[in-house]
Structure 1
Amino acid sequence: MPSEVRLSDGAVLWTDSSWLSGAPGAVFLHGGPGMWDYLEPLATPLADLVSTHRYDQRGCGRSSASTDYRMSRFVADLDELRAHLGHERWVVVGHSFGAALGLAYTNEHPDRVLGLVYLNGLGLDWTVHKAAYRERVRQRLSTQQVARREELAARERTWDEEVEWRALCWAPDFVDPAMAAVDAGTELPLNRLCNAVMNEEDPPVRYEQVRAPVLLVHGAADPRPVDGVKALANAMPTAELVVLDGAAHQPWREQPEAVTALLREFVARVAR
């Protein structure tokens, strides 16, 4: 059920919860930074195991505007949300930027996390792998598509052009590029300031305090190299990594049964 949660600094988060009486909670962290919640397909299959909570991060989607886009603020928001919802500990499920946020939260508050699901994050040493990522993206677009994307990025866009630009940006993230058009038409604004500030901050990846079980899942066809995720998995004694063939940056869209099975097994094991 959708509701709003007011934070200590006055920001208001849009949230959507499905409660299961007496069960632990699980929170779902969308990517971006600067996007909105799109993780209902992950939450719904777990609703008989845990109470599920989705939200739009501060300044994003249906949440209120903000001027504070530091990672530490996003971590604080997440713990304020946990306290508001009444969970002593919960499962954290993060995708892309949400995976980075989930890891930062788990490292900052290890006693409040039952388990972490790290979906298609960047892992360690992203600066080493960034060039390979950009080359893979270029290889998945035609010369004409690259030129059109750059043209649209350089100027103000009509709504139709905005949808076209989003589809061109996101097409490399799918095995079937046409799937990007489904997301591109979502009538919510991208928070480009949030994206720019968070990317400029580029906080270090910290994992030393993580004690909870961690499930890392990565699509083999994600243009973001899996090498950094493997390095992160190897650095955490409680981690396991699963690489899914036939899946890219949103593996639940292309391998839904496999992803659902992985998450259900993990959540059933840790949410006690």
Structure 2
Amino acid sequence: MLTKVRDTRLYVDQRGPADAPPLLFVHGGPGAGSYDFLAFQGDRLAKSFRLIAVDQRGVQQSDPLTGPVTEQDLVADYEALRQQLGIERWAVLGHSYGGRVALRYAAAHPDSITKIVFENPGWDMVLATDTLVRAALPLLPGAELPPHTGPATKAMWDERTGLLVQLGDRRMEIYLGPDSRDLQLPADSEIPAEYHQRSGQFSEAITSSESFAEPLLPSLAKLTQPALLIKGEYDPVTSPEEIELFRSDVATGTYYYATGAGHFVHAEQPELFTRLVTEHLS
């Protein structure tokens, strides 16, 4: 349902018992929305949690953007929603780019979060696009990784993701494990084109914001909540450097390597994913 949060209306999907431990899902993309995740995990996780999935401002079923947006806006929306729902503290699960937003949220409001789960996060956009392009190069004869130094920039993002667009119908091959190549993401065919357009506008806006360039990796060492990092064997987003930092800097961290899975462990190996999340948050 659409819920007024701060200066906009967000689509908020709540499932599970009202008195169950609350769990916030933070989607990636940027602009991916919660539809696909809920299709694979909504009812599963709702057996143990009060699952709260939100389409970020301007994304999919939330109201369209009417101006600029920053990652700080997204964090402020989540925190305002928590207060509106009367939740003292909740666990947070961030997928892909949502892992970056979840890390930013945990750093800004540590007292609001009990535990945290990162699924194939993109904490650093330079490192994430580096590994993404490297995964795509075998399918793009003659292409090379566009060099970049310093923080992420809009130009870097556009240049590197532009290479991925060249993959066309083969793009999902770099995201999925070999046993999951037939996986279909429901949002691609089940939601209106208007919602996809909103997501595209959001992606353009957030990657143009100064917040997108801010380095967040130092925040890993400041995490106080028990944290679980789920990394798919064939995932092309989370870089080796980020994994090493998590394992060395997060004192409360647990690392799980999902053999055979790619970027969407929650969809490729749904039973495993539900078990990992449930065990970590219980």
- The TM tier, using the shorter chain, reads 0.7 to 0.9
1:161 equivalent in structure 2 = none
Deviation at 1:39, TM superposition (A): 1.8
2:37 equivalent in structure 1 = 39
Q: Report whether the alignment pairs 1:52 with 2:51.
A: yes
1:63 equivalent in structure 2 = 62
Deviation by residue 1:139-181 (Cα, 9 ceiling, x = unmatched): 2x365xxxxx979969xxxxxxxxx95x443332112433256
Deviation at 1:8, TM superposition (A): 1.7
Deviation at 1:252, TM superposition (A): 2.1
* 1:190-229 superposed matches below 5 A: 190=197, 191-200=199-208, 201-205=212-216, 206-227=219-240, 228-229=242-243
The answer to whether the 8 Å contact 1:30/1:95 transfers is yes
What's the C-alpha RMSD, in Å, of the aligned pairs? Answer: 2.7
- Cα–Cα, structure 1 residues 71 and 233, in superposed 2: closer, same or farther, change >3 Å? farther
Q: TM-score, normalised by structure 1?
A: 0.81
Q: For 2:237 and 2:181, locate their aligned partners in 1 and report how far apart those are by CA, in whole Å.
A: 16
1:135 equivalent in structure 2 = 134
Q: For 2:79 and 2:170, locate their aligned partners in 1 and report how far apart those are by CA, in whole Å.
A: 35
Q: For 1:202 and 1:177, locate their aligned partners in 2 and report how far apart those are by CA, in whole Å.
A: 33
Q: For 2:51 and 2:91, locate their aligned partners in 1 and report how far apart those are by CA, in whole Å.
A: 9
Deviation at 1:104, TM superposition (A): 0.8
Q: Report whether the alignment pairs 1:184 with 2:188.
A: yes
Deviation by residue 1:55-111 (Cα, 9 ceiling, x = unmatched): 111000010012232000000001111111110100101101111111111111100
* 1:121-270 superposed matches below 5 A: 121-123=121-123, 126-128=125-127, 130-139=129-138, 141=139, 165=168, 167-175=169-177, 176-180=180-184, 182-187=186-191, 188-190=195-197, 191-200=199-208, 201-205=212-216, 206-227=219-240, 228-268=242-282
Q: For 2:131 and 2:277, locate their aligned partners in 1 and report how far apart those are by CA, in whole Å.
A: 29
Deviation at 1:182, TM superposition (A): 4.8
1:23 equivalent in structure 2 = 20
Deviation by residue 1:203-223 (Cα, 9 ceiling, x = unmatched): 321334421110110101012
Deviation by residue 1:241-270 (Cα, 9 ceiling, x = unmatched): 1111100000122222221211110121xx
Q: For 1:138 and 1:264, locate their aligned partners in 2 and report how far apart those are by CA, in whole Å.
A: 36
% identical aligned pairs:
24
Q: For 2:174 and 2:182, locate their aligned partners in 1 and report how far apart those are by CA, in whole Å.
A: 10
Stretches of 4+ moved more than 6 A in 1?
A: 149-152
Q: TM-score, normalised by structure 2?
A: 0.79
**More displaced 10-residue stretch of structure 1: 71-80 or 206-215:** 206-215
The answer to whether the 8 Å contact 1:107/1:208 transfers is no
Gap runs ≥5 in structure 1: 144-148, 155-163
Q: For 2:33 and 2:162, locate their aligned partners in 1 and report how far apart those are by CA, in whole Å.
A: 24
Instruction: Choose which of 2, 5, 10 in structure 2 pairs with 1:4.
Output: 2
Q: Count matched residues.
A: 249
1:157 equivalent in structure 2 = none
SS at match of 2:196: coil
Deviation at 1:232, TM superposition (A): 2.5
Q: Report whether the alignment pairs 1:94 with 2:98.
A: no
